[in-house]
Amino acid sequence: MENFALIFVAIFIGYIINKMNVFPKDTPLILNQFILYISAPAMVLLKVPKLSLSYDVIIPAFIAWVVMSISALAIFYLSKLLTFSREVTGSLMLVAVLGNTSYLGIPIIQAYFGEEALGYVMIYDQLGSFIALSTYGTFISVYYSSSQKINIKALSIKIATFPPFLALLVALFFIGTSFHPIVESVLASLAGTIIPLALVAVGLQLKFRLPSEDLKPFGVALGIKLILAPIIAISICYLFSWNSKAALISIMEAAMAPMITAAAVASMAGLAPRLSSAIVGYGIILSFLTTWIVYNFIN
């Protein structure tokens, strides 16, 4: 219960701080940079080596990509069927496909499964959501906003030099081994900052404005992200008879709210910024209910 109290309190603090204009407007960016360059790599190095080198390590990445691929196809065809504009379609292809598998995924999974589950969270996030954001997300933002060509070389360099991804590559070489207690202590202290900072950053970026003309794409986006995505993950696990902790955590990760960074990418690309922010804002609140439903269903 204390984990959920922390989630709500930290998000609320961030939201109130934003309304009071206490911190500079770029505070979420600074917090996110600290998380990306310090907290997240420390979490990866701390948790991933504790996983056992087995087939289960592949499951989170596999489920992540299948869920995102089917979700993207569903959005693409529904957007055509409902005649959404190019800007709205591009927005939904980002926020209804990419999940908040790190900033919200870590505290929610920890609340339900404990700290030992976080290694699988990092696999799902780094080999799934992050690479998808960097590749698929970049393609969608460019394709739906302009006629610019995507620079494959620059994209590859961006992925290869991303700190949590580099940390994951290092951590994979140490699976099944233990670090010196001093190293573990330092990593644990740095990794411990990720949850409060990430949740406050979420609160700082929450927006809830939603005009009536946005209701249809809003409903489609959250229906795909919060309902269809976990159903796809559950179906995959049923099809392959997967019932390990890695599979259960992957299902929960698939059920996470829309990714805040995806909304930021959509906004910067001019893809329905108001709609993107509303989908993320309401999606985060609704995801506490939907993840609870999914957790009780799979258990």
Cα(52)–Cα(48) distance, integer angstroms: 9
Neighbours of 101 (CB within 10 A): 29
One-letter amino acid for residue 210 of the chain: L
Does the pTM of the predicted model rise above 0.75?
yes
Q: What is the pLDDT of residues 92-137, one digit of tens each?
A: 999 999 998 887 888 899 889 988 888 899 889 888 888 888 778 8
Cα(98)–Cα(128) distance, integer angstroms: 9
Q: What is the pLDDT of residues 157-171, one digit of tens each?
A: 766 777 777 888 888
Q: What is the pLDDT of residues 242-261, one digit of tens each?
A: 999 999 999 999 999 998 77
Q: What percent of the chain has pLDDT over 70?
A: 93
User: Which residue reads 């990720």 in tokens?
Assistant: 194
pLDDT reading at 292 higher than 80: yes
Q: Domain ranges in the chain? A: 2-206+214-298
Q: Which CATH class is domain 2-206+214-298?
A: mainly alpha
- Classify the phi-psi angles of 21: left when phi > 0, otherwise alpha if psi is within -120 to 50, otherwise beta: left
Give 231's pLDDT tier (boundaries 50, 70, 90).
very high
One-letter amino acid for residue 49 of the chain: P
Cα(151)–Cα(69) distance, integer angstroms: 22
One-letter amino acid for residue 72 of the chain: A
Highest-scoring range by mean pLDDT, 4-8, 98-102, 129-133, 192-196: 98-102
